[in-house]
Amino acid sequence: WKTLQQLEDRLLFVLDGYDEAIRIGSFESSNKSSSNGLSGGRDALGDALELLEGKLFPECRILVTCCPGWSSEMTNSVQRRILLNGLDWNHVENLVATYFLGNKKQDHVTRLLDAICSSPLTLRPLASWPSGWLLLCVLYEEDCGHIPTDTLDLHQALFKCLIRRSLMKRGDVFTCSLSNPTDLPGHCKKLLAEFGKLALACIKEERFMYTDGEIRSHCRGGNLEVTELGFLMRGLNFSKCHVQKKRSDCYTPIHRSFAEFLSAYYISSVVHYANILRRELEDLPGLTGSPNGITDASTALILRFLMGLLGRKGHLVFNQFSPLDVPTRTLFMLLQACGPSEAN
């Protein structure tokens, strides 16, 4: 810190995820006694708040990122606001071409771009997201020029690809010798379901960030093994007191739909326990109360994922919907996702 003070006018601090930090700060404060002096929100930012207010390193420069809806709160603290819309198509074309030309697989470029263009609802939105184009390139390359265009199939393939690479990187020979190389070891499936329970609880609170303490309490063995499977990113805690106070590390999925997929994955694992299934479904935001169907985008995607995972067992979910007065439009949407078997 003494060295930083000498470099003050040459420093750039990047405060990534202002809105997420506020939410986590408020959540942590609500779980602690009021005697700790934190009122949540901005106060929970600690040293980062002093940076924003110009009390710490007043001559430095600061870059703050947040969701567009939070920009008004930052108006008095910033000199310039830039709205980012993600990658445009020219960017995607150049990035995909660079990736495969570097791997000397030029024939993959046109085929993958054509596949993305022909899937405007699934592949193209993912490709315009900063890490999405890279995931699609890796998946396309590893799957010998094949890429799913169905939303559920794509997420299953992406998870298998990420986890397989992560396990092989740490030398998991069992994973490499599976008779079906696209399948996952049993302990990984359990980890995904356990983390999915946490993801679902957080979605009901409208957040997609998880503390290391939450992950330890939900996942087997009380460790952070699930964070090493490739689909979570660890955020940085900005505080000179981080080590002494042992503030929580925070993790986010590399894309919010990953959390929604894992939420559905968890529900599918408890589908034979009627009481648990009913409780999880009843608590989903926006499920009932509107004649036009589901009003919450996350709930709609979770249910489509769930019914796709269940397939012929989808009737177990339909049985729970009967007393909930779910609109017919929603039921037919879910029937389309799981398939019209006799029981469904």
Spatial separation of the C-alpha atoms in residues 11 and 7, rounded to whole Å: 6
For the stretch 141-167, pLDDT in tens is 988 888 999 999 999 999 999 998 888
User: What pLDDT band is residue 206 in, cutting at 50, 70 and 90?
Assistant: confident
User: What pLDDT band is residue 122 in, cutting at 50, 70 and 90?
Assistant: very high
Structure tokens at 157: 């393939």
Name the pairing type of β-strands 12-15 and 250-253. Answer: unpaired
165-183 mean pLDDT: 66
The overall average pLDDT reported for the chain is 84
Higher-confidence residue of 239 and 311: namely 311
Higher-confidence residue of 327 and 66: namely 66
User: With 70 as the cut, is the pLDDT of residue 65 above it?
Assistant: yes
What pLDDT shows up at residue 239? 52
Structure tokens at 197: 């329970």
Spatial separation of the C-alpha atoms in residues 94 and 96, rounded to whole Å: 6
User: With 60 as the cut, is the pLDDT of residue 37 above it?
Assistant: no
110-134 mean pLDDT: 92
What pLDDT shows up at residue 266? 96
Distances from the Cα of 103 to the Cαs of 108, 137, 208, in angstroms? 10, 11, 34
End-to-end CA distance of the chain: 63
For the stretch 251-306, pLDDT in tens is 999 889 999 999 999 999 999 999 999 999 888 888 766 666 677 889 999 999 99
For the stretch 231-258, pLDDT in tens is 998 876 555 554 555 667 889 998 899 9
Q: What percent of the chain lies above the pLDDT cut of 70?
A: 86
Spatial separation of the C-alpha atoms in residues 43 and 29, rounded to whole Å: 10
> Any idea where the domains of the chain sit in the sequence?
2-77, 89-176, 186-258, 270-338
